[in-house]
Amino acid sequence: MRRITGTHVYSYVKCRHLASLDLYLSRADRREAMPWEEFAAKRGRDFEDEYVAGLSVVQPEYPERDFVAGQAATIELLRGGAELVHQAVLSSEDRLGLPDLLRKLDGPSEFGEHHYEVLDVKTSGKSRGDQILQVVFYTQLLAELQGRMPEHGALILKDGREERFLIADYVAACDQVVAELRRLRDEPESSRPFLQMACGGCYHDQRCLPELKARSDLSLVQGMSHGARAILEDVGCGTIEELAQFHPDSPRARGNLDATLLRRLRRAAQAHLAGRPVIEARPRSDKLDRSAIVHMITDAFQDRVLGFGMLHPATADGQFTFVLPRSAAAEWSAFRELTAGVPARSVLLHFGDGLRRWHEEHAFSREADPSVEARFVDLQKRLKGAATYPAPVILLSDFVKHGIGRDPLRAGHPGAAAMWMLEEHGDARLEAKLRTDLLDLAALKADILDAAASADVTDSRVADHQEAVKRPVAKKARPKSADAKAPVPKASVRKSPARKPSTGTAKTKAENGGSQAQA
């Protein structure tokens, strides 16, 4: 019988099916980690090691994977009154926990006049529900061992802060997760994949995604929820093809699913089958003619902006500029320098709320011009409202793939950017990524937003799409544009038309404030 561990609790919160697969597959069944995923995992391990190295800890010693011996060694340390125990082994019949730290507190227990509480070291800046549940899971195992439930658990966050919480507040939730994990372990067939954001970085994606496609799963449709999928399947609408043609004649026949939601999902199923986005009618949309697109690539682990890029005007042949701040202190001046040349009345388009949040945080402590923030327009929200896409769209890569049919990762994965910075050609890779993302954003603006602003285009596209849906169902890939096949640009100048390869480039790095390539 596979034992339930803290990692399963963590996985379950992310995706129920992930926990299920982890409970019955071996590690060899997972896809190999990408180099940047390895890099991120190593950073997490190093962070924990560095944190623990500054403390006086003891660690149980036992033969590798012999958790019975590990628990015996742990109990010995706890009975002996060790102040801090690193990677204790806590186990019961079908559960196993290896918490980062156990800390000694006053108050009687099976171990004498003291007892312990659990601390887990995390690389995130804020606590999350899955991390808290993991600590509660370890605490319940500890309570069985020491005959006393500690009042608190704690997370040590990236900045060294300790966030304490009451165990009693989360015990019921943890019990529910453990009960569900037992069910998944005993009945693995009770779970199946659902396309979601977590799939992008999941080591089971190569197993789940083909499975979803093969069964034409409803979760491949934009806007689908677990609940809506269950209701639709209950009323006999189990595939995307069926959903695209689903016209129930009564609320009962549609499982009392909200009529507007059903119309939206049916439209999304039709877009999926047509293989391209359906532009929504937005006759009053402005065309955002006077605008620049500003984009940034960050290192979430370090809370740092690695590079800002800009395309001005916001068209494929706009001028591309970029700046790579060398430290957190240099970010603000780098951003201001980059955007200084954009006329004050121009809109600053960006994707997602990252840039706005970054600006808000910095503007608070600087003499920021409040009018800059008023010029921000989030392309993500606009793009989402302007079309129905052939698949769920959340990240920029989803919009690029399903909105304009390009490979969003042809210049690399944004999660790898921190790793590039340790490589010889890191700056060039970052520049290429900024440029490629900006060109994709300009294409999305042109193909989706500007088209949505034109009623004529809208009508013809919708008609075209409806015609496609009437035909026998056949998946069609949107023809790729020339850009989709274009190799990653190798070099850039600070100010150059974005599509034209530059010649005779010279790059000057600004040591105190950033690095820029200049013509």
Pick between residue 26 and residue 250 the one whose CB is nearest to ligand SF4.
26
Binding test (CB under 6 A) with ligand SF4, winner from 4, 9, 13, 15: 15
Query: What does the alpha-carbon distance between residue 59 and residue 99 come to, in Å, rounded to a whole number?
Result: 11
Minimum distance of ligand SF4 from residue 220's CB (angstroms): 11
Minimum distance of ligand SF4 from residue 391's CB (angstroms): 13
Residue 94 per-residue DSSP state: S
Minimum distance of ligand SF4 from residue 22's CB (angstroms): 8
Residue 481 per-residue DSSP state: P
Minimum distance of ligand SF4 from residue 196's CB (angstroms): 6
Q: Is 224 in the site for ligand SF4 (CB under 6 A)?
A: no
Question: How does strand 304-312 pair with strand 291-299?
Answer: antiparallel
Q: Which stretch binds ligand SF4 (CB under 6 A): 42-50, 189-197, 260-268, 422-430?
A: 189-197
Pick between residue 193 and residue 514 the one whose CB is nearest to ligand SF4.
193
Q: Which residue from 369, 371, 373 is spatially nearest to 359, judged by alpha carbons?
A: 373
Pick between residue 201 and residue 275 the one whose CB is nearest to ligand SF4.
201
Minimum distance of ligand SF4 from residue 223's CB (angstroms): 17
Minimum distance of ligand SF4 from residue 210's CB (angstroms): 11
Site residues for ligand SF4, 41-80, by CB under 6 A, read none
Pick between residue 8 and residue 494 the one whose CB is nearest to ligand SF4.
8
Minimum distance of ligand SF4 from residue 184's CB (angstroms): 12
Q: Is 184 in the site for ligand SF4 (CB under 6 A)?
A: no
Pick between residue 88 and residue 202 the one whose CB is nearest to ligand SF4.
202
CA angle, residues 373, 379, 384, in degrees to nearest 5: 135
How distant is the alpha carbon of residue 61 from its chain centre?
37
Q: Is 17 in the site for ligand SF4 (CB under 6 A)?
A: yes
Q: Which stretch binds ligand SF4 (CB under 6 A): 55-63, 190-198, 232-240, 452-460?
A: 190-198
Query: What does the alpha-carbon distance between residue 241 and residue 270 come to, in Å, rounded to a whole number?
Result: 8
Q: Is 395 in the site for ligand SF4 (CB under 6 A)?
A: no
Site residues for ligand SF4, 120-159, by CB under 6 A, read none
Minimum distance of ligand SF4 from residue 206's CB (angstroms): 8
Pick between residue 202 and residue 237 the one whose CB is nearest to ligand SF4.
202
* Length of the chain as a residue count: 519
Pick between residue 395 and residue 510 the one whose CB is nearest to ligand SF4.
395
Q: For residue 175, give both structure tokens.
A: 């019990």
> What helix, strand, coil percent values describe the chain, rounded to 5?
45, 15, 40
Minimum distance of ligand SF4 from residue 218's CB (angstroms): 13
Query: What does the alpha-carbon distance between residue 511 and residue 495 come to, in Å, rounded to a whole number?
Result: 19
Max intra-chain CA distance, the chain:
80
Query: What does the alpha-carbon distance between residue 301 and residue 315 come to, in Å, rounded to a whole number?
Result: 32
Query: What does the alpha-carbon distance between residue 467 and residue 290 come to, in Å, rounded to a whole number?
Result: 35
Size of the site for ligand SF4 (CB under 6 A): 13
Q: Which stretch binds ligand SF4 (CB under 6 A): 40-48, 151-159, 188-196, 422-430?
A: 188-196
Q: Is 193 in the site for ligand SF4 (CB under 6 A)?
A: yes
Pick between residue 194 and residue 389 the one whose CB is nearest to ligand SF4.
194
**Neighbour tally for 257: CB within 10 Å:** 20
Alpha helices by DSSP H, 187-293: 205-214, 226-234, 240-244, 259-274
Q: Is 204 exposed, middle or buried (0-12, 13-18, 19+ CB in 10 A)?
A: buried
**What SS3 class is residue 60?**
coil
Q: Which residue from 35, 34, 140, 154 is spatially nearest to 103, judged by alpha carbons?
A: 154
Phi, psi of 15, rounded to the nearest 5 degrees: -160, 125
Minimum distance of ligand SF4 from residue 14's CB (angstroms): 7
Pick between residue 2 and residue 336 the one whose CB is nearest to ligand SF4.
2
Is the four-CA dihedral 154, 130, 380, 441 of positive or negative sign?
Answer: positive
Pick between residue 194 and residue 335 the one whose CB is nearest to ligand SF4.
194
- Tell the residue number behind the tokens 């402590």, with chain if given: 365
How distant is the alpha carbon of residue 203 from its chain centre?
14
- CB–CB of 252/231 below 8 Å? no
Site residues for ligand SF4, 194-223, by CB under 6 A, read 194, 196, 198-199, 202, 204-205, 208
Three-state SS annotation for 365-400:
HCCCCHHHHHCEEEHHHHHHHHEECCCCCCCHHHHH
Query: What does the alpha-carbon distance between residue 395 and residue 403 come to, in Å, rounded to a whole number?
Result: 12
Pick between residue 18 and residue 82 the one whose CB is nearest to ligand SF4.
18
Pick between residue 114 and residue 207 the one whose CB is nearest to ligand SF4.
207
Minimum distance of ligand SF4 from residue 18's CB (angstroms): 4
Minimum distance of ligand SF4 from residue 24's CB (angstroms): 12
Interaction site with ligand SF4 (CB under 6 A): 15, 17-18, 21, 193-194, 196, 198-199, 202, 204-205, 208
